Amino acid sequence: MNKQVGLLKRILINFYDLILLFAVLYFFTIPVIFLTEGNAILNSIIYQIYLLVIIYLYYAWFWKKYNQTLGMKIWKVKIYSKYSLEITYIQSFKRIIFALLGGHLLLFFQTESLQDIVSNTYLEKID
C-alpha cells in the first residue's frame, strides 16, 4: 500500500490547520488588546514576533508530542524524522520556514516537498 501523502491531501491538512491556528491566534490576541487598551497593534514588531512564536509553538508542540497536528489527525497522517521517529524543534523550525516560502510547490514535480527535504522529515498515511 502506498503510504505517501499527495499534494491535495497536504493542502487540505494545511487549510484545516490554518483555521485552527487562526482561532488560537485570535485567542492569544485578546489579552494583548486589553493590555494596549484597544489600540491598534498591527504595526508593532513585538506583536508580530509574538504571533510568529505562537505559530511556531503550535506546530512544533504538536509535531514533537503527537507526530501530528489536529489537521493531520483528521486526515490520518503523521510526520516522522528520517533519522528517528521523533521530530526535533530544529526540524520543526525548518519545516515552517520552508513551507512559508512555498515548499509545497515542489510537489508538482516530485513526491517530496521542499520542507521535507530540508528538514529530513516525511509524511505518512496511517490507518
For 123, the enclosing helix (H) or strand (E) is: strand 121-125
Domain map of the chain by residue range? 7-125
For 58, the enclosing helix (H) or strand (E) is: helix 45-66
Show the cell assigned to 8.
Answer: 491535495
Which residue reads 505562537 in cell numbers? Answer: 54
Residue 97 identity (one-letter amino acid): I
Chain segment 20-79, per-residue pLDDT in tens: 999 999 999 988 888 887 776 767 888 889 999 999 999 999 999 999 999 999 999 999
- For the chain, helix, strand, coil in percent to 5 are 65, 10, 30
Show the cell assigned to 65.
Answer: 508530542
Chain segment 84-99, per-residue pLDDT in tens: 888 999 999 999 999 8
Which pLDDT score, from 0 to 100, does residue 40 have?
A: 60
